[in-house]
Chain A
Amino acid sequence: MLQRPGAARGVFAATGLPPIVWLLALFLAPLAVIWAYSFGENRTLVDIAITGSWANYARALKPLYLAILLKSLGFAALTTFICFILGLPVALAISFASPRAKLLLLLAVMLPFWTNLLIRTYALMAILRTEGLINSGIGAIWSLVPGLGPFEPLPLINNNFAVVVGLVYVHLPFMVLPLYAALDRLDRSLIEASLDLGAGHLATLFRVVVPLALPGIVSGIIITFIPALGAYLTPDLLGGTNSQMIANVIERQFRSANDWPFGAALSFLLMYMTFAALLLQSLIVRRHAGGAP
């Protein structure tokens, strides 16, 4: 039986309005302000005139900033790749585990989210630093073996290696969860059929599992790549003299440089790239859905 149309509209308004107001007032409106700033210029230390000038974007596209953006893309791509290589077996293992183990394993994947990112990063620093857990651990074993000479601590922190370790550590759950969701929905009989019909495990993985899980893989890659591209805390705390990422430059525009218009232009450059990535994702997913039998 159909409901009265008026009642349905009332229900829609009651449930839909709060999130729409939230989105408009707390997300889109501030974003629009920042967007307007990106076409402005500093008049005094506190006054920004919106002049409609493209000068901030022109400056953001200077080789200096493009090179930093490119480097950030590199960091994010490497992070995403490592997360995928590590995350796929983890997600497979979870999806094939017993229901009880599955629950515990998923909990373990999500557990880091219960701690603040800053605290986790400081914990990582305690592990990686020159006098940290890894180096003192290896040093202790080293001193037990005779004839090795003095132990030279490994350079584990304040370099690009530490940044990638930190980014992978932080973003791995973002990869594992969508991969798991996709793999868990997979029709197991297709895997059995593939194995029965003579395909090896690797062939089954790459020719059956991966194509079927493609939408999950694409979402995993996107939601790992985007936050990794905008990472700020990790390069700031774990990085060395060569680890500046674009978000660190943006942060300085809003703080020490007091140059909000330029910071806004750099942020929106990043935002446009994010939109492009999302567009790409929806194209891949749509083609995949269209091509499926």
Chain B
Amino acid sequence: MPDRLSRRAFGGLAVALALGGCARRWPKGANGEEQRLNFYNWDTYTGETTLADFQAATGVEVNMSHYANNDELFARLRAGNPGYDVIVPSNEFVTRLQISGMLSPLDHARIPNRANLAPEFVNVAYDPGRRWSMPYTWLALGIGYRKSRVDGVPDSWKWVLDSDRYSGRIGLLAEGDDLIRLGARYLGHSVNAVTPAVMEEVTQLLIRQKRHVKLFHHDEGQDLLAAGEIDLVVEYNGDIAQVIAEDDDLAFVVPREGTLFNSDCLCVPAGAPRPDNAHRFINFLLDAKVGAEITRTIRYPTPNAAALALMPEEYRANPAIFPSGPAMARSEYGRFQSIAHIRAVEEAITRVMAA
């Protein structure tokens, strides 16, 4: 998911400024709502003119603030929605937020542009019938690597999880849940079939591998790879695609065992003050031209077929953005399991870090 360098520092301040402070009065639109919208999003995750274009089209001004990860989003919303109208949780968190009563259902009649979605995104396991979410991007975890420092294509999780060949030059993602799931995939299990026995097996694997790992990164793996700090990194395709554009010695591969897919989705949180503006905004983002403008900047794979059709060949045929091959058929979306499972994952990761 996108880069988060500056977010921790400024996130809190931004929220205070965006939501609290100004006692400015907003004119009411035709729908009876104030002509504004609070958009809580990942950093560097819109096009350069997206928000201004929306304002030009509708008169609604968008205040955007950022979060660094889904946990931060969840933690902020669990005490009550502080005023956000649109949020962008990943698939598993769509489930978590929904079962916690923190989302409000979408009115499909107000989102005609959902017709632009590619067929495989119309009905999904984590949100049957798309009652609560519209897909914004999708992502695949894989290995980003520096070609000149790696022998051939590191097309197995083995090279980062179970080998000393690149000792001291490996960066793993610090997200415990993803790491455990990828380990399970490497050992031949489904990412959604992590039983206690599998978890123990993966924990032992990670503890053994740890001495060859240089660092656990917080989703800034692409920067560490670009800076030469590490030569192999577990990261999302879109992040690596961004740095490949600046350094052609870098590449991305989805290992042949298959990987974990994610999809960031547009949702309206429960208690959103301006639900109609929120629907108009979601519909706007799903427009073909708007989607293409966003995609040109953020370079993530888009689930929007109409937007994809407007993109240049360089993007559509980019193997880092759209990995292909048998590995993709062996990949799955992660599903929310249970509270006990989250707790077990955290304890496993604490053990790995402490070992």
Question: A interface vs B, CB < 8 Å?
Answer: 42, 44-46, 64-65, 67-68, 71, 116, 118-119, 122, 129-131, 158, 236, 240-242, 244, 248-249, 252-259, 262
Q: Is B34 an interface residue (CB 8 A)?
A: no
Instruction: Give 18 A-B contacts (CB < 8 Å), ordered by A residue.
Output: A44-B100, A44-B339, A68-B350, A68-B354, A130-B229, A131-B228, A158-B214, A236-B218, A241-B215, A244-B350, A248-B353, A252-B176, A252-B346, A253-B346, A255-B69, A256-B175, A256-B342, A257-B345
Contact B96 A257 (CB under 8 A): no
Query: Which residues of A sit under 8 angstroms from B175, Cβ to Cβ?
Result: 256
Q: Which of B53-61, B72-80, B159-167 touches A?
A: B72-80
Complex CA distance for A236 and B157, rounded to whole angstroms: 25
Give the top 4 A-B pairs by smallest Cβ distance, nearest first.
A257-B346, A255-B71, A244-B353, A158-B215
Contact A240 B214 (CB under 8 A): yes
| Contact indicator per residue, chain B 324-355, by CB within 8 Å of chain A (1) or not (0) | 00000000000000010011011101110110
Complex CA distance for A292 and B58, rounded to whole angstroms: 77
Query: Which residues of A sit under 8 angstroms from B131, Cβ to Cβ?
Result: none
* Chain B: interface residue total (CB-CB under 8 A): 38
Contact B99 A45 (CB under 8 A): yes
Query: Which residues of B sit under 8 angstroms from A253, Cβ to Cβ?
Result: 346
Complex CA distance for A68 and B9, rounded to whole angstroms: 27
Find A255's partner among B72, B211, B214, B229 (CB 8 Å cutoff).
B72
Contact A241 B213 (CB under 8 A): yes
Q: Is B299 an interface residue (CB 8 A)?
A: no
Query: Which residues of A sit under 8 angstroms from B342, Cβ to Cβ?
Result: 256-259
Contact B346 A46 (CB under 8 A): no
Find B354's partner among A42, A67, A254, A257 (CB 8 Å cutoff).
A67
Extra contacts besides A46-B101, A240-B214, A252-B346 (6): CB < 8 Å = A64-B351, A118-B8, A119-B9, A255-B71, A257-B342, A259-B343
Query: Which residues of B sit under 8 angstroms from A64, Cβ to Cβ?
Result: 347, 350-351, 354
Query: Which residues of B sit under 8 angstroms from A240, Cβ to Cβ?
Result: 214-215
| Contact indicator per residue, chain B 95-110, by CB within 8 Å of chain A (1) or not (0) | 0100111100000000
| Contact indicator per residue, chain B 210-254, by CB within 8 Å of chain A (1) or not (0) | 110111101000000001110000000000000000000000000
Instruction: Tell whether A241 pairs with B75 under 8 Å between CB atoms, given A64-B347, A257-B346.
Output: no
Query: Which residues of A sit under 8 angstroms from B227, Cβ to Cβ?
Result: 129-131
Complex CA distance for A64 and B207, rounded to whole angstroms: 14
Closest residue of B by beta carbon distance from A116: B9
Q: Is B177 an interface residue (CB 8 A)?
A: yes
Contact B346 A259 (CB under 8 A): yes
Contact B177 A256 (CB under 8 A): yes
Name the distance in Å between A8's Cβ and chain B's nearest Cβ: 39
Complex CA distance for A130 and B228, rounded to whole angstroms: 8
Instruction: Tell whether A256 pairs with B354 under 8 Å between CB atoms, given A130-B228, A241-B216.
Output: no
Contact A118 B9 (CB under 8 A): yes
Query: Which residues of B sit under 8 angstroms from A158, Cβ to Cβ?
Result: 214-215, 229
Complex CA distance for A80 and B189, rounded to whole angstroms: 47
Closest residue of B by beta carbon distance from A258: B342
Query: Which residues of B sit under 8 angstroms from A119, Cβ to Cβ?
Result: 9
Find B71's partner among A71, A242, A244, A256 (CB 8 Å cutoff).
A256
Query: Which residues of B sit under 8 angstroms from A259, Cβ to Cβ?
Result: 342-343, 346
Contact A257 B229 (CB under 8 A): no
Complex CA distance for A244 and B211, rounded to whole angstroms: 14
Contact B343 A255 (CB under 8 A): no
Give residues of chain B (62-103) contacting chain A, Cβ–Cβ below 8 Å.
69, 71-72, 74-75, 78, 96, 99-102
Complex CA distance for A181 and B349, rounded to whole angstroms: 44
Name the distance in Å between A37's Cβ and chain B's nearest Cβ: 13
Give residues of chain B (146-193) contacting chain A, Cβ–Cβ below 8 Å.
175-177
Query: Which residues of A sit under 8 angstroms from B101, Cβ to Cβ?
Result: 46
Name the distance in Å between A187's Cβ and chain B's nearest Cβ: 46
Complex CA distance for A64 and B346, rounded to whole angstroms: 12
Closest residue of B by beta carbon distance from A62: B347
Name the distance in Å between A63's Cβ and chain B's nearest Cβ: 10
Name the distance in Å between B85's Cβ and chain A's nearest Cβ: 20
Find A252's partner among B5, B229, B350 (CB 8 Å cutoff).
B350
Contact A256 B176 (CB under 8 A): yes
Complex CA distance for A248 and B78, rounded to whole angstroms: 21
Name the distance in Å between B202's Cβ and chain A's nearest Cβ: 16
Complex CA distance for A241 and B209, rounded to whole angstroms: 11
Closest residue of B by beta carbon distance from A118: B9
Closest residue of B by beta carbon distance from A239: B215
Complex CA distance for A129 and B215, rounded to whole angstroms: 12
Complex CA distance for A259 and B341, rounded to whole angstroms: 12
Complex CA distance for A116 and B11, rounded to whole angstroms: 14
Contact A255 B350 (CB under 8 A): no
Q: Which of A64, A242, A257 has the most CB of B within 10 A?
A: A257
Name the distance in Å between A150's Cβ and chain B's nearest Cβ: 15
Complex CA distance for A254 and B71, rounded to whole angstroms: 9
Q: Which of B177, B211, B218, B349 has the most CB of A within 10 A?
A: B349
Contact B346 A256 (CB under 8 A): yes
Query: Which residues of A sit under 8 angstroms from B9, Cβ to Cβ?
Result: 116, 118-119
Query: Which residues of A sit under 8 angstroms from B350, Cβ to Cβ?
Result: 64-65, 68, 244, 249, 252
Name the distance in Å between B200's Cβ and chain A's nearest Cβ: 14
Complex CA distance for A42 and B72, rounded to whole angstroms: 18
Query: Which residues of A sit under 8 angstroms from B71, Cβ to Cβ?
Result: 255-256, 258
Closest residue of A by beta carbon distance from B101: A46
Name the distance in Å between A257's Cβ and chain B's nearest Cβ: 4
